[in-house]
Structure 1
Amino acid sequence: MRPVKPVGIACSASLSSLGKNIKQALTTDQMMLTSRDDLLIDQSVLVGAYQGEVFSGQLAPAVAYIDSRNFRLALTALEQMNLAEHTAHVSKTRLAIVMGTSTSGIADNEPALKQRFDNPNVKVSYKKQEMGCLARGLQTYLGWQGIAYTISTACSSSGKAFAAGQRLINAGLADAVLVGGVDTLCQLTLNGFNSLESLSKTQCTPCGTHRDGINIGESASLFLLTKEQAPVMLMGCGESMDAWHISAPHPEGAGAQSAMQRALDSAQLQASSIDYLNLHGTATPQNDAMEIKAVRQVFGSNGVNISSTKHKTGHCLGAAGALEAYICHQILLEQTWLPLHQTGEIDCELLDQSYVKDAVLKQPIHYAMSNSFAFGGSNVSLIFGTS
C-alpha cells in the first residue's frame, strides 16, 4: 500500500442516539436505545434513534424535490459546523463533497408506496431516495462547485467517503472535502434484517457469549477534511473487497485483516502504534468471530484497547463508519476517556482481547483505528492521529 499524506479534520458534527454528551453516553451503563413499535409488523424493536430536533426550515426549490428526513438530518448536522470559517478563502470549484448512505430518503416514500399498492395512480417521487441525491443536494444547498458524489457500499459507505476525500486532496483535485454519512431508520431496513433473523431481541452484545444479532440505528456525521494541519488528522485508510458471500463475512477475516494492514501501511505505522481500535462489532456470531481473528492476525499479542460502540448507537448502516470515526475523533481530542465495551459476558473463544472495561484513560493516546465491514466483503479501516 502506497503511503499517503495525512489530511486535517477542520471541523465535524454528529447526530445519533448518543445525544449531545457522547462521553457520558459511551462511558456509563446508560441505555441509549429506544423501543419502537412502528417499524416491524406486530412487534416492537430496539433501535438507536436520534431524539433531537431536525432542521425544519423551508427548502429552496433547487433542493425541495429531494426533501426527506435523511436530507434534513444532514442539514441539521451541517448547521453545527462553521464551514464558512474554513472555506471562505477556497474557490467553490475546489470544494468537494463525498457522502455515504444506504437508505437515502426511502423512509419518506414508504407511506406513498403503500398507497400505490392499492391505487396505481398514486405518484411516488423516487428522486428523494436516489443514492446520489445526498451529495448533490448538499452541494446545491452550499453553493459549492467541486466534485460531488455519494458512495453506497452498505455498512462501509461513509468509511470509504473518508478514503475518497483523502485521495481527492492528495491528488490535487480538491482543497477541502466535506465527507461523512447519513442514514435514517426505515421499515425496509428493519424488515430486511428481520427476515434474515439478524435483529437482536434485546440490546446487542458485541463479542458476547449469547449475542443474537444487531440493533439498527440512525445517524448523520459530517467532517471537513483539508490540507491544513489540525489537532486530529486522518492518517491513512485501508480498503479491501473479499467478495466471499453476499451477506456473510469471510470466516477467517481475510478481507478485514487486509483492510487493517493496508490502513497501517498507508499511514506508515506499525500495529503497535495503535492505542485504540473501534471494532465493527455488530454482535452477530459470524462477524464478531471473524473480526477478532483478523485483529489477532494484525495486532498479535499487542493488547490494543478495543471496543464496539454499537450496543449504544445501533448499527447505523451507511453512516456507521462516519459515526464511529466521530467517536475516535472525540477521544483523540479530549484525551480523558475510551468507549466502554458492552459489560456482559464475553464469548470464551474471543476472550483473549483487551476489551475496554475502564473508561478512564490512563495515558495519552496518539492513534485510533476504526473498522467498517459491509455486505459483499466491502471493507474499510481508518486511522486517526493527533498532530
Structure 2
Amino acid sequence: MSGIYRPAQLPLLVSHYTATSCAGIGNEALAESLRQRRGGLVRDAFAETDLDTFLGPVAGVDDIVLDAPLAPFNCRNNRLAQLGLLADGFLDQARLAVARYGAQRVGVIIGTSTGGVLETELAYRHRVPQTGALPSGFDYGATHSPYSAVDFVRRLTGARGPSTAISSACSSSAKVFASAARMIAAGLIDAAIVGGVDSLCQTTIYGFNSLELLSAQACRPYDPDRNGISIGEAAAFVLLERWPGRPDAGGMALVGYGESSDAHHMSTPHPEGLGAQIAMRGALVSANLDASDIDYINLHGTATPSNDIAEGLAVSKVFGMTPCSSTKGATGHTLGAAGALEAVVSILALREGMMPAGINSRRVDPTLNVNYLLENRLAEMRYVLSNSFGFGGTNCSLVFANVAGVSDLLRERDQEAP
C-alpha cells in the first residue's frame, strides 16, 4: 500500500447493485454469463438499422409499461432504466434508503451518452408535412434530454437530493461514482443512487459506422485481429452510502477513483494512453494503494485497434502484468452505461472470486504486453480496478474492494493518522 494518508471521504459502502444488459437481466444472469463465457451479442437485430454488425439489445424493453403518472417519460431509454431498476429488488432498496436517510439526503447521478435520442429520431419521421414541425406529443425534456433518466429515477425512488446527469461519452457512468463521492464528502448527501443507462438508436450505430469503428463480427478486445466495436445497451445501478462501523461479511465498497481529461483528440485516444495513466494512478492514490495491490483490472477494452493499444500501453506502464480482461465481448460496448455496468462486473468478480475472461478473443495481441485472460481464473481478491475512457479524452478509473480489503485500508489509515 502506498502509505499516503487521505481524508476519510472513502470508502463508500456499495450496499446494493444491479446490472441489465444483453448478457442478462440482473446480477445472477450476468454472473452466469461470465462464468459460462457466454455473450449476448447477435447479428444486427435492431429494427431501426440495416448494417452488417453485431449488436447487444436487451430483451423485453418494449414490454415495459410505465405507470400513468410517468407516461410522459415513455421512451426506450427510460423503459430500459425501469427494467434495470426492478432487477435484484434494487428499486425497493433505493426507496428504503430514501426512507432511512430522508429524501433530501439521497442524490441521483446517472450517466448516459445519448439519452432517449431514439424518441427524437422517431419523432422526425412523423413531422407535420406542411411545416416540418415535430409531433405535438413529443416531449424532448422527458425523453431525449440526458436529464430525463435522472428525473425518471428520482420520481420512481422518491429521492430529492442533489441530482445530475453526466454525459462524457463512454466514461459517463464511471464518473457518477466520483461525483457521488465528492457530494457525500462535502456533506451534501448521505447516500446516492448512481448508475448508467444507454439504449440502442440510429445516431450511435450509424455514427460509429461512419467512423469505421463497427465490426462485422462480435467484438474481440485485445485480439490481434480485432477490428471494431459491437454496440450494446444496458442499465446498471449502485446504491452508495456512507461507510458503516461494521459492514456485513459480504460488504463491498468504492475505495478509490481517478479522473483525467487529456483532450488529445475528439475521437482518438492519446497514443501512449497518458490520460488513462493519470486516471489509474489517481485512483490508486485516492484508494491509498500501490499498483501491486490491485488483483484484477476490468479493461475499457473496446476492440478498436487504437483504443486497445493506448490502454494496453497505459496498463503495462502502471501495473505491469496484473491480470486483466475486457467483458465487452459479452455485453457489447454500452457507451454511456459501460462504466456502471462494468463497475457491477468488478463487484461481481470480487463476490464470486472469479476474474472473468474476455470472450470472442482467440489470441492476445503480443504487442500489448498485458496479462489478458482468455480463460476464467478463480482467485481470492481484495481490490479490483475498472477503466472507462471516452471520446475527447475523458477518462475515469474506479477501485472497488471487498470487506477484507476495506478492513486493511482502514487499519492502515488508523495507523498513519496523526
Q: TM-score range by the shorter chain?
A: over 0.9
Which residue in the other structure is 2:21 paired with? Answer: 16
Report what 1:94 is aligned to: 105
State the AA in 2 paired with 1:18: A
% same residue: 41
Contact 1:39 1:186 (8 Å CA) reproduced: no
Give the alignment of 1:237-316 within 5 angstroms. Answer: 237-300=257-320, 303-316=321-334
Residue correspondence of structure 1 range 60-99 to structure 2 within 5 A: 60-61=68-69, 63-79=70-86, 80-81=89-90, 82-99=93-110
SS at match of 2:126: helix
Partners of 2:39 and 2:175 lie apart in 1 by: 29
CA distance change for structure 1 residues 366 and 186 in 2, over 3 Å: closer, same or farther? same
- 2:57 is equivalent to residue 49 of structure 1: yes
Contact 1:220/1:323 (8 A) holds in 2? yes
| TM-score normalised by structure 1 residue count | 0.93
Which of 106, 112, 129 is equivalent to 2:144?
129
Paired residue for 1:331? 349
Partner residue of 1:375? 391
**Do the aligned residues in 1 keep the contact of 2:23 with 2:39 (CA within 8 Å)?**
no
Q: What's 2:114 paired with?
A: 103
Of the structure 1 ranges 127-136 and 248-257, higher mean CA displacement relative to structure 2 is found in 127-136
Give the AA of the match of 1:32: G
Q: AA paired with 2:14?
A: I
> Does structure 2 conserve the Cα–Cα contact (< 8 Å) formed by 1:236 and 1:384?
yes
CA pair 41-233 structure 1, distance change in 2 beyond 3 A: closer
Instruction: Say which of 202, 205, 208 aligns to 2:223.
Output: 208
TM-aligned CA distance change 1:37 to 1:58, over 3 Å: closer
Question: Equivalent residue for 1:35?
Answer: 43
In structure 2, what residue type is equivalent to 1:126?
Y
For residue 340 of structure 2, what is the aligned residue in structure 1? 322
Closer, same or farther in 2 for the Cα pair 1:222/1:37, shift >3 Å? closer
1:225 paired with 2:230, answer: no
- The more displaced of 30-39 and 172-181 is 30-39
- Counterpart residue identity of residue 188, structure 1: T
| Letter aligned with residue 373 of structure 2 | V
Report how far residue 264 of structure 1 moved: 0.2
1:211 offset after TM fit, Å?
0.9
* Maintained 8 Å contact 1:198/1:212: yes
3-state SS of paired residue (1:177): strand
Aligned with 1:201: secondary structure?
coil
The Cα RMSD (Å) is 1.9
Letter paired with 1:8:
L
1:175-201 deviation line (CA, Å, top 9, x unaligned) = 110001000000111000000000011
Deviations 1:55-92 (A, max 9, x none): 7344343x432221211221222223122343422111
Deviates more, 1:269-278 or 1:13-22: 13-22
**Mapped partners of 1:121, 1:376: distance in 2:** 33
Alignment partners' CA distance in 2, 1:41 and 1:173: 44
Instruction: State the AA in 2 paired with 1:136.
Output: D
- Answer whether contact 1:237 1:383 (CA < 8 A) is retained: yes
| Number of residues of Structure 1 aligned to a counterpart in Structure 2 | 381
Q: 1:145 aligns with which of 142, 160, 175?
A: 160
1:22 positional shift: 1.8
Q: Quick one: structure 1 residues 7 and 38, their matched pair in 2 at CA, closer, same or farther if it must change by over 3 Å? A: closer
What CA distance in whole angstroms lies between the structure 1 residues aligned with 2:255 and 2:210? 39
Give yes or no for contact 1:371–1:381 (8 Å, CA) kept in 2: yes
Q: Residues 210-245 of structure 1: CA distance to partner in whole angstroms, max 9, x if unpaired?
A: 111100000000011000345110001000000000
Q: Distance in 2 between matches of 1:268 and 1:216?
A: 35
1:117 and 1:218, CA in 2 relative to 1: closer, same or farther beyond 3 A? farther
One of 343, 364, 372 as aligned partner of 1:355: 372
Give the TM-score, by structure 2 length. Answer: 0.87
> Can you give the 5+ residue segments of structure 2 that lack an aligned partner in the other structure?
404-418
Aligned CA distance change for structure 1 residues 168 and 121 (closer, same or farther; 3 Å): closer
Which segment drifts farther, 65-74 or 10-19? 65-74
Give the superposition deviation at 1:30: 2.8
Are the structure 2 counterparts of residues 40 and 252 from structure 1 closer, same or farther at C-alpha, using a change threshold of 3 Å?
Answer: farther
Unaligned segments of structure 1, at least 5 residues: none
| Worse-superposed segment, 138-147 or 244-253 | 138-147
CA contact (8 A) 2:49 2:202 kept: no
Q: Which amino acid aligns with 1:11?
A: H
Deviation at 1:347, TM superposition (A): 1.7
Partners of 2:301 and 2:187 lie apart in 1 by 35
Q: Write the distance in 2 (CA, Å) between the matches of 1:334 and 1:51.
A: 25
Q: From 339, 359, 364, give the equivalent of 2:380.
A: 364
Q: Which amino acid aligns with 1:249?
A: P
* CA deviation after TM superposition for structure 1 residue 141, in Å: 2.7
Distance across 2 between alignment mates of 1:314 and 1:57: 26
Q: Distance in 2 between matches of 1:239 and 1:285?
A: 23
The Cα offsets for residues 14-53 of structure 1, whole Å up to 9 and x where unpaired, read as 1101114223312334342012254675434211111245
Give me the whole-angstrom Cα distance separating, in 1, the residues matched to 2:45 and 2:97: 43
Give the SS at the match of 1:88. helix
